[in-house]
Chains A and B, each alone.
Chain A
Amino acid sequence: MRIVRNGAVALTATALLALTACSGDADTPDTQDDAAGDATEIRLWLNGTDTPDELREYLVDTFAAENDGATLVIEEQDWNGLVPRLQTALTSEEQTPDVVEIGNTQAPTFTYAGAFSDVSDLYAELGGDTLLQGFVEAGSADGKVYALPYYSGARAVFYRKDLFAAAGVEVPTTLEEFAQAATTLQAANPAGTPNFSGFWFPGQDWYNGTAWVYTYGGDLAVQDGDAWAGALSSPESQEGLAQVQKLFTEGTNAPQDADSNEPWVPFNNGESAMFSAPTWARWSIDLPECNKGVDPEDESEEAKALRAEQQACNEEKTGVFPLPGLTADEPATVFAGGSNIAIPAKSQNQELARSLMRIIFSEDYQTMLAENGLIPANTEYASAMGDDVYATAAIDAALGAKLTPAAEKWADVEGARILEDFFQQIASGADIAEASAEADQLIADTLN
């Protein structure tokens, strides 16, 4: 399904590129009387549907109000295939957007390549040290800041309350208890389905596996002078990986040849008691006993009411907690997802783009991000996320969350799927030290 969509996306992207190319040409005369400040249009690329419509409207309206005569156009890009699209768009004065959102793990590659304008002078004004520091680091090179944080999302664990009760398992408060809970649930199989998993942990799921490495104090790669070295062989990482392998063996029956995509499918099927995903996964939970059989496209009042009832039922049967840490009072250090935002160096509207950045980092907008369940770039406004279980779990998880190493070529490690392969080997029962040494070597070769 994903693959087919990729095809469609590629088409859309091509069409978009073609469109933007055309509009770029059409805009050229406008840019020339830019000095007059009228009729300039700047373009913002946002990825996926993570930024809700309400926020987009706010940006467009505020931008128009603050910049006399200039208008903002928001173009939505798909996350799939974003890197190659940026590789072509950001190198062309005519096609480049004026402000661009980019995945946090992709940010270093483009930052080091010189794709973005230096915004160090704006840094303090836009929030300075209150901004999510891991993301700032991902967008910095040689002591200058190029890409700022946009928002962050962290993973939390979803669980079936009824299965926990049936197996006599409490919500775990330490990482060890978590593994124990997964093992107990799996052995008890309270749902009575074949191939039941205590925790849905597919072999290639390095997003979740990394949480153990980080929590035990390890890392994926560390910088040593100018060179990068893989850090999976460090004693801390090894300790975490041993726990990962134990969990793979005793706490899950998920296939070794699957990745972290759509973990709610087995959960909805009653084939797992827990899964870990960003908190927006709540909208994908659809337990059979709650399903009212409404057409998701049906916009009638009746259908809306039924859907609300269905969602309430799902959320009542499902609980959520941040992955616990080594001790009861701290959450695990999980893998942080999210994105950065930057001004492309080739943009012809640098001043207007900076004006848009000021709007994005304003208290109003940051608060709106938080109200929509995203962890805002400026941590001062995170409290606006509210205090329901999802917000609390998300904030707790995000507090300790950590990014992938801010190495120039980190995107290549992901492109080569080194970590997918590595965790798959751990899941298949490979010798941890041997597999780690091999992966470290591959990571070092790729990063340097």
Chain B
Amino acid sequence: MPTSHPAADAGAAPAEPAVPAVPGGPAGPGSPASAQVVAPVGSAPGQPPAAAAHPRGAARRRPLRSRLRVYLLLIPAIVPIAVGLGYPLVRQLVLSFQEYGLAQQFGRPAEWVGLDNYVTLLTDPYVWTVIARSVAFCLVNAALTMAIGMGLAVLMAKVGRAARMTLQVGMLLAWGTPVLATMTIWQWLFDSQYGVINWLLAEPLGMDGLRYHSWLIDPLSFYAVATVIVVWMSVPFVVFTVYAGLLQVPAETMEAAQLDGANARQRFWLITIPMVKPVLFVVALLQIIWDLRVFTQIYVLQRAGAPTRETHLLGTYIYSLAKEFSMAGAMATIMLALTLALTAFYIRRMLREEEL
């Protein structure tokens, strides 16, 4: 990619019709000129002051054209976001204040009902049960995933090459296999009649009572199975990301700490963890969001024979409302608010860290 390299970029810029606005001549030498294009689009704080000073000067000379150009460059990013994220979100909000079902889709006018959908949902104790279950499930799963993922990442950084390759390949396979395919296998493993797990427990391990045990029929045991599957599927992402973070911890810092007499535990908790903390924050944030809106695994397990109503989480509950689009829209909005509330702390913290 020549364009990512400033020196090469300078040569390419004048010939590139996509960036004709670069004032190659008057702005001076090529290298800062390409920085000028990058600076307003990317985050300015990261730019070294020397490089930033020059383009700012150029902008002051022709402010209007320059600013227009900035907005023009933003359009390719804004249009897909508005179409792909904005429209569904607005539509969902609008729907949640209407009565909108199948009949409305066939042309009956949709009635505005104000907050009725929200009132119906929020006064239903069952909805609160589902919310409580989802939050608990999300926190347990995110915590387990983070703990196991971090443990494996540290392990991966310490073991030899062969062991690391094995770990990496295994993780990639677990992560790369399509969800529905892995879910089918998990479902077979836990099948009460023909499943390998029941067979293992009964035949070699002698727990005969579990030969035809139904794992999914009791909600707690259902969530335990779901947790095993969800954690198993999410761990590889945490491992790879944290492992990449660990590689960034400079060896000389560690060596210095060691010379200063810090033991392994101290080095890990006082140097490594603070240094990879931004990575941990992002990963934990994503885990919480993903585990709160978990759908596929729960849906498939429910279809495998669990009592549906007693095992609904937010994702599957919204889906079960989907024939009444307005109700589903209201529930989805509640879930969005819940996600924001759960992650607000993290997001604020992250933004602050970035400012530092």
Interface string of A119-148 (1 = CB under 8 A from B): 000000000000000000000000000000
Contact in complex: B106, A415 (CB < 8 Å): no
Q: Digit string of B267-306 for contact with A (CB within 8 Å is 1, else 0)? A: 0000000000000000000000000000000001011111
A166 at the interface (CB under 8 A from B): no
Decide if A255 touches B193 in the complex (CB within 8 Å).
Answer: yes
A258 contact from B106, B108, B305, Cβ within 8 A: B305
Given contacts A7-B180, A411-B323, A255 and B103 within 8 Å (CB-CB): no
Which chain A positions have C-beta within 8 A of B320? 415-416
Categorize the interface residue count of chain A.
35 or more
Does any Cβ of A come within 8 Å of B58's Cβ? no
Pairwise interchain contact A258-B107, C-beta atoms closer than 8 A: no
Q: Within 8 Å of chain B (Cβ to Cβ): is A217?
A: no
Q: Within 8 Å CB of A428, what residues of B?
A: 217
Pair A4/B184 contact, Cβ less than 8 Å: yes
B residues less than 8 Å from A112 (CB atoms): 103
Instruction: Give which listed residue, B108, B183, B217, B306, contacts A3 with CB less than 8 A.
Output: B183
A109 — nearest CB in chain B belongs to which residue? B102
B99: interface (CB < 8 Å): no
Residue-wise, chain B 167-206 has the 8 Å CB interface mask toward A (1 for contact) of 0000000000010110110010001110000000000000
Complex: how many Å from CA A115 to CA B102? 9
- Interfacial chain B residues near A7, Cβ < 8 Å: 178, 180
Within 8 Å of chain B (Cβ to Cβ): is A63? Answer: no
8 Å CB interface, A390-443 against B:
409, 411-412, 415-418, 420-421, 424-425, 428, 442
- Is there contact, CB below 8 Å, between A3 and B184? yes
Interface flag for B6 (CB, 8 Å): no
Residue B116 at the chain A interface, CB threshold 8 Å = no
Any chain A CB within 8 A of the CB of B112?
no
B308–A416 CB distance below 8 A: yes
Indicate if A44 sits at the interface (CB-CB under 8 A): no
Which of A1, A91, A257 is close to B217, meaning CB atoms less than 8 Å apart? Answer: A257
CB distance from A348 to the nearest CB of B (A): 15
Cross-chain contact A113 with B103 (CB below 8 angstroms): yes
Return chain A residues, CB-CB under 8 Å to B214: 255-257
Q: Which chain B residues in 235-277 approach chain A with CB under 8 Å?
A: none
Q: Which positions 306-333 of chain B face chain A at CB distance < 8 Å?
A: 306-310, 320, 323-324
Which A101-125 residues sit within 8 Å CB-CB of chain B? Answer: 109-110, 112-115
Q: At the interface, yes or no: A203 with Cβ under 8 Å from chain B?
A: yes
Q: How far is A421 from B102 in the complex, measured between Cα atoms in Å? A: 25
A195 close to B307 (CB less than 8 A): no
A113 cross-chain contacts in B, Cβ below 8 A: 101-103, 105-106
Question: Within the assembled complex, what's the spacing in Å between the Cα atoms of A301 and B308?
Answer: 48
Instruction: Find chain A residues with CB under 8 A from B211 CB.
Output: 194-195
Q: Is B135 an interface residue (CB 8 A)?
A: no
Which residues does chain B contribute within 8 Å of A4, judged by CB atoms? 180-181, 184
**Interfacial residues of chain A within 1-26, with CB under 8 A of chain B in the complex:** 1-4, 6-7
How many residues belonging to B are interface residues under a CB distance threshold of 8 Å?
35
A259 within 8 A of B: yes
Q: Is B216 interfacial (CB-CB < 8 Å)?
A: yes
Task: Verify if A310 is at the interface (C-beta below 8 Å from B).
Answer: no
CB distance from B236 to the nearest CB of A (A): 22
Residues of chain B lying within 8 A (CB to CB) of residue A254: 193
Tell me, in angstroms, the Cα distance from A202 to B193 when the chains sit together: 11
Q: A417 with B102: in contact, given A256-B217, A266-B193 (CB under 8 Å)?
A: no
Task: Give chain B nearest CB distance to A397 CB in angstroms.
Answer: 26
A90 within 8 A of B: yes
- Best-surrounded residue of A1, A3, A90, A257 (most CB of chain B within 10 A): A257
- As a 0/1 sequence over residues 132 to 174 of chain A, the CB contacts with chain B under 8 angstroms (1 = contact) are 0000000000000000000000000000000000000000000
B303 nearest in chain A by CB position: A3
Nearest chain B residue, comparing its CB with the CB of A257: B305
Q: Given the complex of chains A and B, what is the CA–CA distance between A3 and B103 in angstroms?
A: 29
The complex places the Cα of A87 from the Cα of B102 at a distance, in Å, of 7
* CB within 8 Å for A421 and B308 given contacts A7-B180, A195-B193: yes
- Decide: B193 and A258 in contact? CB cutoff 8 A: yes
CB distance from B329 to the nearest CB of A (A): 15
List chain A residues, Cβ under 8 A from B324. 412
Task: Give, as a whole number of angstroms, the nearest-CB distance from A9 to chain B.
Answer: 12
Q: Please tell me if B212 contacts chain A, counting CB pairs below 8 Å.
A: yes
B residues 66-86 touching A (CB-CB < 8 Å): none
B105 touches A255 (CB 8 A): no
Q: Say whether A204 faces chain B, with CB atoms less than 8 Å apart.
A: yes
Inter-chain contact B323/A412, CB cutoff 8 Å: yes
Q: How far is the CB of A314 from chain B (nearest CB, A)?
A: 22
Which residues in window 202-225 of A have CB below 8 A to B? 202-204
- Please state if B106 and A90 are interface contacts (CB–CB under 8 Å): yes
Output the nearest chain B residue to A204 by Cβ-Cβ distance.
B305
B353 to chain A, nearest CB (A): 40
CA distance A194 to B215 in the complex (A): 20
Whether B192 and A257, one on each chain, are in contact in the complex, defined by CB atoms closer than 8 angstroms, is yes
Query: In whole angstroms, how far apart are the Cα atoms of A115 and B178 in the complex?
Result: 36
Q: What are the residues of chain A within 8 A of B309 when measuring CB–CB?
A: 416-418, 421, 442
CA distance A420 to B309 in the complex (A): 10
- The answer to whether A345 and B217 touch across the interface, beta carbons within 8 angstroms, is no
> Is A186 engaged at the interface, CB distance under 8 Å to the other chain?
no
Pairs A-B, 3 closest by C-beta atoms: A257-B305, A417-B308, A255-B192
**Can you name 10 extra interface pairs (CB under 8 A) apart from A4-B181, A115-B102?**
A3-B183, A91-B105, A113-B101, A194-B211, A204-B305, A254-B193, A255-B191, A257-B304, A258-B192, A416-B320
A interface residue numbers (CB < 8 A to B): 1-4, 6-7, 87, 90-91, 109-110, 112-115, 194-195, 202-204, 253-259, 266, 345, 409, 411-412, 415-418, 420-421, 424-425, 428, 442
Name 22 A/B residue pairs within 8 A (Cβ), A-sorted. Answer: A3-B183, A3-B300, A87-B105, A91-B107, A110-B102, A113-B102, A114-B103, A115-B102, A194-B211, A253-B212, A256-B192, A256-B305, A257-B304, A411-B323, A416-B320, A417-B302, A417-B308, A417-B309, A418-B309, A421-B309, A421-B310, A442-B309
